[in-house]
Structure 1
């Protein structure tokens, strides 16, 4: 099961630590956020202790309706279930009860500089990204004219060299050699580089290239939605290759199918131009223009017209 430590949540979201330092190594496994309401009233039947607790102005005001003795009893009841952390939004004055009980139970008490709604949205997006299942794909992910294009193929086929040429043409690198892919939602695949590989390309005969130092900050971005897979493969003389673009090939990651194009690599073929063209053609398809369908439709109309003229 994927998990993230509370200390990483703190650092990545610029949270202040008010108490419960001994719980900073706690793991978070749930991407949903708990905003206690009925729990503060003493009803714990549906409380999910795996979730991070977020307390905003409404929750805090509701809690303050009760006596300090009753507040402590209910906070203890919540903390006894060992939630990973409690986070307060910017406008909440944190009660000394939370500070004392956070240290007692080893539950981090954290404070954000964001208001409740913005904080809730940010935390959910962050946890969803960090905790969702991931796959590692051997390939190169590029942003080609705004279209996230995953280039795959056997080692040595020329993926990184193709990426280098595409970067020279103004396109953007996301990841080389290893792409971490996760499904944000059905139909939405996101790709990114492992931290250690960000910005770098490996070119055989040259070595490691830092694309930001070489081409500027505009040559790299951290994540991109994947909308096309291009597979490079060695040309096979007797293999059938689609020449019109009518064969709609796809590949599946998690529950999402992505259009796929197979490009045979042969001496004399400019692979970067072919990949760039495949991406631009796919972009046109997303916009509703399909060149192959349009051509076949026009041919059919022409043949039908000729047949009608012949019968007259």
Structure 2
């Protein structure tokens, strides 16, 4: 994804102080640069792809330098063409910054936020926009807080199942294509491509706007993926898991996600099965495993240690 200065300004409510020609400068790194040794004149490891953040500490350090040296250090940094410099709310911006920024096509931005929260906000935003992404064919639905990715071959009924789930009060994130990035180790976030947001395609009906049909609560922009449910046509030769003691997983980036395969047969209510799978997986996250409890009770009964059932008088 290409992220430009103008997108950063719009999404984070920043003020552009330099010329507008810098609005189309591209940001390529999710990391930030907090210049320390660079302001001291050491630029050997300076990464020109990073946005520069200047807070109170950097500002006060610069003030300790004589004006000519300070100006030369800033020019040395700007000559390497970083995309932009963001100043936190309490930092005064010297005129030389604007002059040099316009000369070297570097954006000068001003935030309304203090340095520490601004740093966290910037990193999270840049990481979400620039982290490696992958796309999977499927439907992502929020089922009682469980981000459930429904996959399967084309025409098997993924969108129809999602539509029924939305009708029951669950929430659509994306239909047909789900864009996924790893926000942190073990955390996968799924969202819809911009053009597909709020829409779902149902064969025989066409394109449905779930917000217009079911209300604003029927759609959300993104969700952490906690379960993958694969729909497949019933295979007689396949031995399907009937207890669910062990859960399969699928690896997306470096994260293993629980995966359940549901065989499709005429008469089976797929939406109910997917909903039940999501709720059962949620119980497992909360520490309750119905299959384990049952097998443990059966084992105790077989050993003679189980609780005797009450007999009728």
- Whole-angstrom CA distance in 2 between matches of 1:120 and 1:222: 23
Return the alpha-carbon distance in structure 2 between the equivalents of residues 165 and 196 of structure 1: 22
13-22 vs 84-93, which moves further? 13-22
Match in the other structure for 2:63: 64
Partner of 1:120: 119
Q: Give the aligned partner of residue 130 of structure 1.
A: 129
SS in 2 for 1:141: strand
Q: Which residue of 2 aligns with 1:90?
A: 89
Distance 1:56 1:185 in 2: 26
Q: CA deviation at 1:38?
A: 2.2
Contact preservation (8 Å) 1:21, 1:103:
no
Partner in structure 2 of residue 181 of structure 1:
180
Residue 105 (structure 1) aligned with residue 118 (structure 2): no
Return the offset for 1:306: 7.5
Aligned match of 1:155: 154
Question: Which position in structure 2 is the counterpart of 1:310?
Answer: none
1:186-205 to 2 correspondences below 5 Å:
186-205=185-204
* Structure 2 partner of 1:235: 234
Structure 1 equivalent of residue 17 of structure 2: 18
For residues 164-179 of structure 1, the aligned pairs below 5 Å read 164-179=163-178
Q: Please list, as runs of the form range in 1=range in 2, the aligned pairs for 1:199-238 lying within 5 A after superposition.
A: 199-238=198-237
CA distance in 2, matches of 1:20, 1:38: 28
How far has the Cα of 1:20 moved from its partner?
A: 4.1
Tell me the alpha carbon deviations over residues 196-251 of structure 1, each in whole angstroms, 9 at most, x when there is no partner: 11111111111111111111111111110000000001112222111111232111
Query: 1:42: how far off?
Result: 1.8
Q: Distance in 1 between matches of 2:76 and 2:83?
A: 14
- Report Cα offsets for 1:166-215 as digits up to 9, x if no partner: 11111111001110011112211110001111111111111111111111
SS of residue in 2 equivalent to 1:246 = coil
1:50 and 2:46 matched: no
Deviation at 1:93, TM superposition (A): 1.4
What residue is the counterpart of 1:79 in the other structure?
78
* 1:276 Cα deviation from its structure 2 partner: 0.2
1:95-118 CA deviation, whole Å, 9 max, x = no partner?
Answer: 101000001111111111111112
Could you tell me whether the CA contact under 8 Å between 1:20 and 1:104 is conserved in 2? no
Q: How far off its partner does 1:72 sit?
A: 0.7
C-alpha distance after superposition, 1:24-75 (max 9, x if no partner): 2222111111111222122223322221001112211211122221111110
The aligned counterpart of 1:6 is 5
Taking the aligned partners of 1:193 and 1:131, their CA distance within structure 2 comes to 16
Indicate yes or no: 2:287 matched with 1:288. yes
Q: Counterpart of 2:17 in 1: which secondary structure?
A: strand
* Runs (5+) with no aligned partner, structure 1: 308-312
1:266 is displaced (CA, Å) by: 0.9
The number of equivalent residue pairs is 306
Contact 1:21 1:106 in 2 (8 A): no
Task: State the TM-score, normalizing by the size of structure 2.
Answer: 0.95
What's the secondary structure of 1:305's corresponding residue? coil
> Separation in 1 of the partners of 2:40 and 2:20?
27
Asked if 1:248 is matched to 2:247, the reply is yes
Instruction: Tell me, in whole angstroms, the C-alpha distance in 2 between the residues paired with 1:251 and 1:301.
Output: 33
How far apart in 1 are the matches of 2:7 and 2:151?
32
